[in-house]
Amino acid sequence: MPPVLERRKSKGENGTAFSPSDCNRKLIGARSFSRGLLASGKQISKEDDFESARDYHSHGTHKASIAAGSYVLGASHFGYARGTARGVAPSAHVAMYKVLWSTSTVEIATSDVLTGMDQTIDDGLDIMSLSLALPKTPYFEDVIAIASLSAIDKGIVVVCAAGNEGGSEHNIQRSTMDHHSRCWYY
């Protein structure tokens, strides 16, 4: 792993089942943001989440591994497809910022997302990946899309999940069985 650049200010935070010692030369920081959720009267589930930066459901960990997973020799799926696994940028450093929480359902406070985005900017990181699958909102009303402009203005690449809705003319979906789908490009 290359050395961590001095401009990076990310760090690990103490919390349930997570401590700063869990960070290393790959995971250079991990923070959690829940004040907005807690201020709204919601409680983080003790059975279905960790009140810390630790990823209970592994969604963020999975996405980070796709983006920046280190080389793993001899990887396989139950002995099949054995080989070397790696992410797109295996030498990249990762800082994980948790903003989505399990309550009695899965909840999000926009203020927590915005705080996490601001912290990403302040911590000098280069890429912000938001894989939150929030309800579709017109861009001019979407505070997260608007806040992304601040990050972009500071030279940060912002990547957002397009959602899990599927089946509309706005999705790119083409298979050998479906020759009549329309594709839209943004």
pLDDT digits (tens, 9 = 90+) for 40-88: 999 888 888 888 888 888 888 888 999 999 999 999 999 999 999 999 9
Pairwise CA distance, residues 43 & 95, whole Å:
25
Is 68 a member of any domain?
A: no
Is 81 a member of any domain?
A: no
CB proximity list for 51: less than 8 A, separation 6 or greater: 15, 16, 32, 34, 44
* Structural domain that includes position 107: 20-56+97-160
Q: In total, how many domains does the chain have?
A: 1
Pairwise CA distance, residues 122 & 128, whole Å:
12
Confidence at residue 184, expressed as pLDDT on a 0 to 100 scale: 47
Confidence at residue 134, expressed as pLDDT on a 0 to 100 scale: 76
Is 71 a member of any domain?
A: no
pTM here is 0.80
The parts of the chain modelled with pLDDT lower than 50 are 181, 183-186
**Phi, psi for residue 76 in degrees, rounded to 5:** -160, 170
Is 90 a member of any domain?
A: no
What's the Rg (C-alpha) of the chain?
A: 18
Confidence at residue 96, expressed as pLDDT on a 0 to 100 scale: 93
Is 105 a member of any domain?
A: yes
Is 85 a member of any domain?
A: no
Confidence at residue 185, expressed as pLDDT on a 0 to 100 scale: 46
Is 65 a member of any domain?
A: no
Q: Which regions of the chain does DSSP assign to beta strands (E)?
A: 27-32, 72-77, 80-85, 94-98, 100-102, 106-108, 127-130, 157-160
